[in-house]
Amino acid sequence: MSAISPGVLVEYGWNERVLALFGEFAPLSLEPARVVRVERSMCMAVLPDGSERLVRGAAPCVVGDWVAVRESTIEGVLARWSALSRLDPEAGVMQMLAANMDLVVITVPADRASASRVERELALAWDSGARPLVVLTKSDLSVPGLEQSLRDRLAGVDILPTSTVDDAGLDRLRAQLQPDRTGVLLGPSGAGKSSLANALLGRQRFATGTVREADARGRHTTTSRQLVPLPGGGVLIDTPGLRSLGLGSHVGLGATYPDIEALSLSCRFRDCRHDAEPGCAVAAAANSGGLAPARLVSFQKLQREIAAEESKTDPLKRKEELAVWKARTKAARAKARRPNR
């Protein structure tokens, strides 16, 4: 077996971990490559010599994948250590957005921050296997107290304010990706993802746009997911803004809501939904001010969404859900029939 020469792939995140994963393909005289863009059924991959090539394989690939190729054919996809996915609203199946990233950079525009959306994005990020980092973009437009309110609302996650106007926070973000870590940008259209990517690159690689004044929505300027190496080390995946971020039935909420997870240990019932059950420590904390009520509302919404997806594929889960709602309806009717005292 000849020694593997990664060449310029070192700039694209090649390290000892990737080398170990490529080991099973090394005896087959295949070339390593990394997918930098996906165009329908074809993947654009960069090879050790720095050239880009359209490649196709039997198994689907996504941006960030490490693959073993022979000429224009993908002979194998290396095992992924992380994968960012969302529930496709049209097809009703999980859609993988990016793979093999170490950091999910959740971009939150300071001029229209939504904590509930961030919590949804955090759930997807934690589920991916990568570490989330909340980046407050356009911090030069931030209103007083916004950063602290986000810190109070979002437990257990780092928040980094940045601005491409005065380069605030950019060095700290670069340091998070060096020397060979991969980060993927996640956020709504108009959050400043492309502007942030250009600032990190030091050049205008990605198109940028403005936010509409009528509804404060951003225009789509990035139309496909693209992977680029950063000067000084690290790799970045820019993604289009996504309005729909559906959660699959497998997504857990413990890492996103560690405060609620901790409080739930004191609930009377082990399977407490923190909705209307007696002896719920989470509801008690929300009523007493120990937990932000809006955070509990957000948790309950995501919890219901995940349960609904699970019931679609699990008949037993569906039966349990129906039993719960029948019991609640029966209790409500019984309460309504009681005479006022």
The pLDDT assigned to 74 comes to 94
Q: Is the pLDDT assigned to residue 104 strictly greater than 80? A: yes
Q: Is the pLDDT assigned to residue 207 strictly greater than 70? A: no
Over residues 157-176, the pLDDT tens digits come to: 999 999 999 999 999 999 99
The pLDDT assigned to 313 comes to 66
The pLDDT assigned to 212 comes to 46
Q: Is the pLDDT assigned to residue 315 strictly greater than 80? A: no
β-pairing verdict for 83-87 and 131-137: unpaired
Q: Indicate the helix (H) or strand (E) that contains 17.
A: helix 16-22
**Do 237 and 184 meet the contact criterion of CB atoms below 8 Å apart?**
yes
Complete domains list, the chain, with CATH: 7-77 (2.30.30.140), 83-238 (3.40.50.300), 258-337 (1.10.40.50)
Q: Is the pLDDT assigned to residue 334 strictly greater than 70? A: no
298 Ramachandran zone, left/alpha/beta (phi>0; psi -120 to 50): alpha
Question: Rounded CA gap, 65 and 79, in Å?
Answer: 9
Closest CA to 254 of 263, 246, 244, 242: 263
Over residues 31-85, the pLDDT tens digits come to: 999 999 997 777 999 999 999 999 998 888 999 999 999 999 999 999 999 999 9
Q: Report residue 165 as tokens.
A: 């106007």
Question: Rounded CA gap, 38 and 244, in Å?
Answer: 20
Of 53-57, 151-155, 290-294, 311-315, minimum mean pLDDT range: 311-315
Residue 182 pLDDT grade (very low, low, confident, very high; cuts 50, 70, 90): very high
Angle at Cα 312 formed by Cα 90 and Cα 86, nearest 5°? 45
Q: Is the pLDDT assigned to residue 120 strictly greater than 80? A: yes
CB-CB neighbours of 7 under 10 Å: 17
- Name the β-bridge partners of 33: 67
The pLDDT assigned to 312 comes to 77
User: Which residues fall within 8 angstroms of residue 16, CB to CB, at 6 or more apart?
Assistant: none
Residue 1 pLDDT grade (very low, low, confident, very high; cuts 50, 70, 90): very low
Mean pLDDT for the chain?
Answer: 87
**Cα 80 from chain centroid (whole Å):** 15
User: Which residues fall within 8 angstroms of residue 251, CB to CB, at 6 or more apart?
Assistant: 123, 124, 127, 306
